[in-house]
Structure 1
Amino acid sequence: MPSLLGSIFGMTCPKCRRGDLFPTSSFGFDKPFMQYEHCPECGNSYFPEPGFYYGAMFISYIGSAFFSMGFVMLLHWVFGWSTLASFLALLVVAGLFFVWWFRFSRSVYFHLVSKYHPEVTKAVDAGELHVPTPEATSRN
């Protein structure tokens, strides 16, 4: 059985933990905000209602705020960098991880509000579910 943390960090469907949430890599920067409408493995809807991912914005905001404070304090107080150099390093790191953090926040939120169904995972693994290949859309 797939683990919860493996599914969150792997950005897979919270229902079956097999299908990808996003059609492209987080570090490829190719269509960074494109997301499947449905799970390619079990058909679970990734947009159950309008505005579903507003909760992910709170996770993103809180997580990035704490990370930013800790990162700048570490560079400034522990490594003795200047305040300006610490903030510039933060901008570089935030720029590199922006798409990953956006997607990770959606994955965390979706897993918090959705229930895992091990019987669906077993059906997907056995090849009993036949879901047509979903089209990727640029829904945010």
Structure 2
Amino acid sequence: MGNSIQNICKGTCPKCNKGKIFEQNGLLYKLRMPKMHVNCEVCGYKFEKEPGYFYGAMYVSYMLTVGEAIMLYFILSYVLKFADNFQIFLIISVAMIGLSFFNMRISRTIWIHLFTS
């Protein structure tokens, strides 16, 4: 279990745990969608099993986004004592747009690891 979480965080192939799923690391600062390898460079494992395979990753991304928004709301309203709900809404909206690139990447990695035996 711990090894799987570590491989998800690293973005490595679920079969060999060595090849990278995405072509480049750390694209958050470039604000563009990361490109995936079609197959693992090490073992040849095909990441996209069929057309539309990653539609399920959207649900994982939604789960991550909701969790991040709830956590950010509690931090802003209870820890930092923001009183204005509109201000909290704007901060959460900007954060969710900024985290969308990270969420897309990690949700696809989680989805690939979920369905690999």
What TM-score range do you get, normalising by the shorter chain?
A: 0.7 to 0.9
- Structure 1 position 84, deviation (Å): 2.1
Q: Displaced runs of 4+ in structure 1, greater than 3 A?
A: none
Q: How many residues align?
A: 114
Which has the larger helix fraction?
2
Using the aligned pairs only, state the percent identity.
26
**Residue 29 (str. 1) matches residue 30 (str. 2):** yes
In structure 1, the residue matched to 2:89 is 87
Could you state the TM-score of these two structures normalised by the residue count of structure 2?
A: 0.85
The answer (yes or no) to whether the contact 2:23–2:36 under 8 Å persists in 1 is yes
Q: Which has the higher contact order (CA 8 A, sep 6+)?
A: 1
Could you state the TM-score of these two structures normalised by the residue count of structure 1?
A: 0.72
- Structure 1 position 31, deviation (Å): 5.1
The answer (yes or no) to whether the contact 1:75–1:86 under 8 Å persists in 2 is yes
The answer (yes or no) to whether the contact 1:24–1:30 under 8 Å persists in 2 is no
Deviations 1:39-72 (A, max 9, x none): 1111100111111111111111122112212211
* CA distance in structure 2 between the partners assigned to 1:83 and 1:23 by the alignment: 40
AA aligned to 1:112 is L
Matches within 5 A, 1:93-108: 93-108=95-110
The answer (yes or no) to whether the contact 1:24–1:31 under 8 Å persists in 2 is no
Aligned Cα root-mean-square deviation (Å)? 1.9
Gaps of 5+ in 2: none
In structure 1, the residue matched to 2:72 is 71
